[in-house]
Structure 1
Amino acid sequence: MTVKVSALVSTSSTVKLYFYNTRAGFLKSGKWAFSKSVKPEGKREITLPVDLPKGEWAVAITQDMNNNDKVDKNFLCIPTEPYAFSNNIRPTVAAPDFNECKFRVDGPGQVVSIVLKD
């Protein structure tokens, strides 16, 4: 499958993708199935081929604007760096649930498009 992330805020800051396949671990540090880091190399959009086993998956994405290798947050624990979730879920009060962000992988050729929120 392919993950396509558009509307990148920076054309040079690292984009980090966190892939989850369980509800219990969703958005918990270190509980992702795997992660990938990609440099946009001057582009506002990245396309990343990913080999995901069949099943339910969700993706959380951040762009590390200051390259400190973490998601910076304000005093309310709201990210201050660009972020996004699969299904383009836009949380307003609380972090989204796995079920809101999940998508089903059934075979090759699938594309998941996500727009980054700054």
Structure 2
Amino acid sequence: MTDLPSTKATLKLYFYNVKENFLKRGNYTMLKYVKPAGSKQITLPIDLPNGEWAVALTQDMNENDLVDRNFLGIPTEPYAFSNNVWPTMRAPEFDECKFKVNGAKVVTISMKK
């Protein structure tokens, strides 16, 4: 992860490998919490089974353990998706964010639009 808005606020990484579950609350395959420890960039080794995966991440700026949203449901805290997908006026789809894991894989996600 690069271009983190905060060097202290917790990052939450939501991993999905089921297309129908993508971005549905509580339906992620795996969730990781990471503290940036003073850095605007983090490298996090994670073993994922082979297959298609997509990642959504948020940074909990007020440390309330929620993804804060406005009245339209749009996150008001920093967020990003694998493949650095930034759709306008809608949430991204699994197929836009997916990447294939078949052995070692490096995925870079920028939190900067």
Paired-residue identity, %: 62
Structure number with the bigger relative contact order (C-alpha 8 A, sep ≥ 6) is 1
Q: Which one-letter code corresponds to 1:57 in the other structure?
A: W
**Of 38, 41, 46, which residue of structure 1 is paired with 2:42?**
46
- SS of equivalent residue, structure 2 residue 44: strand
Aligned: 1:10 with 2:6: yes
Report deviation, 1:56: 0.1
Unaligned runs of 5+ in 2: none
- Corresponding residue of 1:116: 111
**Structure-1-length-normalised TM-score:** 0.93
1:97 paired with 2:99, answer no
After TM superposition, what 4+ stretches of structure 1 lie above 4 angstroms from structure 2? none
User: What's the C-alpha RMSD, in Å, of the aligned pairs?
Assistant: 0.9
TM-score by length of structure 2 reads 0.97
The secondary structure found in structure 1 opposite 2:109 is strand
In the TM superposition, residue 117 of structure 1 has moved relative to its aligned partner by 3.6
Give secondary structure in 2 for the equivalent of 1:6.
Answer: coil
- Count of matched residue pairs: 113
> What SS does structure 2 have at the residue aligned with 1:115?
coil
Deviation at 1:30, TM superposition (A): 0.8
Offset at residue 75 of structure 1 (A): 0.5
- Higher fraction of strand: 1
